Amino acid sequence: MTPSPAAPWLFLFVSLVGAAFTATAVLRIRRISYLIVPYFFGAWLTGELAVHHVAWQAIATVVFVALGALDAWPGWLGLAITVTSWAALAIFHQLAGVTGAVFDAALDHDLAEADGPTSAGVPFRRIARPFKFPVRGVERIRNVAYGPHGRRNQLDVYLPLAADGAGPFPILFQIHGGGWTIGQKDQQALPLLYHLAARGWLCVAANYRLSPRATFPDHLVDVKRALAWTKRHAAEYGGDPSFVVVTGGSAGGHLAALVALTANDPEYQPGFEDADTTVQGCVPFYGVYDFLDRYGERGRASMTSFLGRLVMKSSPETDRDAWEKASPIARVHADAPPFFVIHGTHDSLAYVEDARHFVRALRGVSRHPVVYAELPGAQHAFDIFHSRRSAYAVDAVTRFVERLRVEELARRASGAVPRDAAAPGRTPTRAAAGRA
């Protein structure tokens, strides 16, 4: 290539851009007002795609060196910045490797899984192709209607075709996130859905009505309607309607927790009050558990204005009871099903302190296991595509739900009463958050 006199300065600029992306992943920043969204995307994509980030920087470095970037001091400064950025990303990538040990410790401590398997290694081919989701032996049935609200009342079914052993298949029910205002059923948790379906789980992912057109609890009503539909039609797909685990991320984690904590509550089942909406487990990822921010963790980054304007259509001052009912931390009770709460320390959208308070409150009253894994360095939405962290998360969730399934089958074989989230037709009592 013919050297360019502008190459050293251009290389310095590109190196600074790459270093800025690295900084977003490594640094834990939250209260930056309107910059929080671009910061989140930079931190999320750089942190979970660290290997790919280094790869594009390496290619850019080779090109700029060939163009004469090292013929002047700005180029050498750019090279120093780039190498430092690579070193920081390498360390951060190693931090993701700790995730497996964190999950192991959480499952051993909170689920008494001392004799269970430890996290497996992460195949490099999975990290190298982060957006390759479909796997052999799984059929995806799209856009099945479950309610009257068009595309927002459709779900996808992930049907195991080559699973070990015969059915009926246990069921995973997935709720997408998106701040209650955006999102689609086919955009999130795909690594987990395909993995479990390949292992003999019937997986269902549902849409629901979104704000600002929808007002809470419309979102919750829809996912409960979808859950009721899933139980009613499970046998048609080979599923076991008596064993369902609900999961979701972000707003989906919030709704998953409410589904688990408000089983069979007729307030959220208009027109299908008698439907069974119990679940046998709940796995919320980086959820929002307290609309009222009663512990003051968010400060000036409060979600109150956003929630009041778009989701709740009211304020805590004028309708506090509705805001309490919308907060999973205010709905904890002794008959809550087993929970596996997963959250990252670097989450800039849903604060990790919120998860800690929720877990403390739930553990204070629940008769069933409450597993909590706090992942160092993990940003919001870390599990959406294949990465080192998401692979460990898929492995850990698989161990959790399959352990619940084994225990449930053992109870049935012994003639014991199945462990349900709540007795059919009963509204769970709401415990004060202060009982943590």
**Given phi > 0 = left and psi -120 to 50 = alpha, else beta, which region is 207?**
beta
C-alpha 29/C-alpha 297 separation (Å) is 14
d(CA 45, CA 132): 16
Q: Which residue has the tokens 């851009």?
A: 17
What is the Cα–Cα distance from 351 to 344, expressed in whole angstroms? 8
Confirm whether 386 is a catalytic residue.
no
> Catalytic pick from 15, 85, 250, 366?
250
CA–CA distance, 185 with 176 (Å, rounded to integer)? 6
To the nearest 10 degrees (0 to 180), the angle between helices 7-26 and 36-48 is: 90
428 in the Ramachandran plot: left (φ > 0), alpha (ψ -120 to 50) or beta? Answer: beta
Of the listed 290, 347, 383, 395, which one is catalytic?
Answer: 347
Rounded CA separation 117/115 (Å) = 7
Torsion of CA 239, 229, 222, 192, to 10 degrees: 10
The answer to whether the CB of 277 falls within 8 A of the CB of 224 is yes
Q: What percent of the residues of the chain are helix, what percent strand, and what percent coil, each to the nearest 5?
A: 50, 15, 40
Q: Tokens 């629940």 identify what position?
A: 366
Structure tokens given for 136: 């052999």
| Vertex 354 angle, CA 208 and 183, to 5° | 20
Check if 108 is active-site: no
Going by their DSSP bridges, the two strands 154-160 and 202-206 should be labelled as antiparallel
Catalytic residue among 380, 383, 386, 390: 380
Exposure string of 386-423, with b = 16+ CB inside 10 Å and e = fewer, is bbbbbbbbbbbbbbbbbbbbeebeeeeeeeeeebbbbe
Residue 159 pairs in a beta bridge with: 139
Q: Is 327 a catalytic residue?
A: no
Amino acid symbol at 94: Q
Give the pair of three-digit tokens for residue 435.
Answer: 């009982």
Cα gap 95→89, rounded to integer Å? 10
Residues annotated catalytic, as ranges:
250, 347, 380
